[in-house]
Amino acid sequence: MRILLISIILVFMATVSFAQQSAEEEFVPEGARGRWTVEQAQRFALEAVSGEIIDTDIWRDDNRVYYDYTIRKPDESVFDVDVNAVTGEIFQIEVQYLSENPKLPEGVIDKDYAGVSALSYAAEKGMGLKKPKIRSGEIGIFERKLVYDFVLDKGLHRYRVIVDAFSGKVREFEELSK
């Protein structure tokens, strides 16, 4: 009876160990310790923002490892692209410098779409009965993120609406003095 019990326990432990190993083998993309190498992951960064890599760094947050690539585009704009070292997914894209006539990276939404987002947000949150109208709008940087910066008029009120250039979500909304 004792031998049977020990045999069952050993078989159970071997099965659990094999199942864990199989799941890990499916999850591990490439590279040492289940991570993409710095060279392999740079492909993902360059797909998001094409240009020349001028600096590479590795950082960790909440036990996750990220590769930070500083990329200079041909128009001299400089972006930081953070790539998750395990999944290869883009974690975030930040702007260090934006040239006067930037060539925008892949995934940036159309200015008109961002304008619609700003108008609908101002119509809902702003004061006044009139429909808001775009006074000005341009691509810019807000908290190191690429954004569209709109100034809207709504009756007697003027608003500044900052829209994320990748997601189209409003990041900031404030009333300006007219």
* Nearest-angstrom CA–CA distance, 20 and 80: 36
* Nearest-angstrom CA–CA distance, 44 and 56: 13
Give Cα separations from 160 to 8, 76, 138 (angstroms): 69, 28, 12
Note the pLDDT of residue 34. Answer: 72
* Nearest-angstrom CA–CA distance, 27 and 30: 9
At 51, is the pLDDT very low, low, confident or very high (cuts 50, 70, 90)?
very high
Given 81, 100, 119, the domain boundary residue is 100
Q: Can you say whether residue 177 is alpha, beta or left, with left for phi > 0 and alpha for psi between -120 and 50 degrees? A: beta
Answer whether residue 91 shows pLDDT above 70. yes
* Nearest-angstrom CA–CA distance, 149 and 137: 5
Q: Which amino acid is at 178?
A: K
pLDDT mean across residues, the chain: 84
Same-domain pairing of 63 and 90: yes
Residue 105 belongs to some domain of the structure: no
Same-domain pairing of 95 and 139: no
Give the residue-averaged pLDDT of 74-103.
92
At 129, is the pLDDT very low, low, confident or very high (cuts 50, 70, 90)?
low
Residue 91 belongs to some domain of the structure: yes
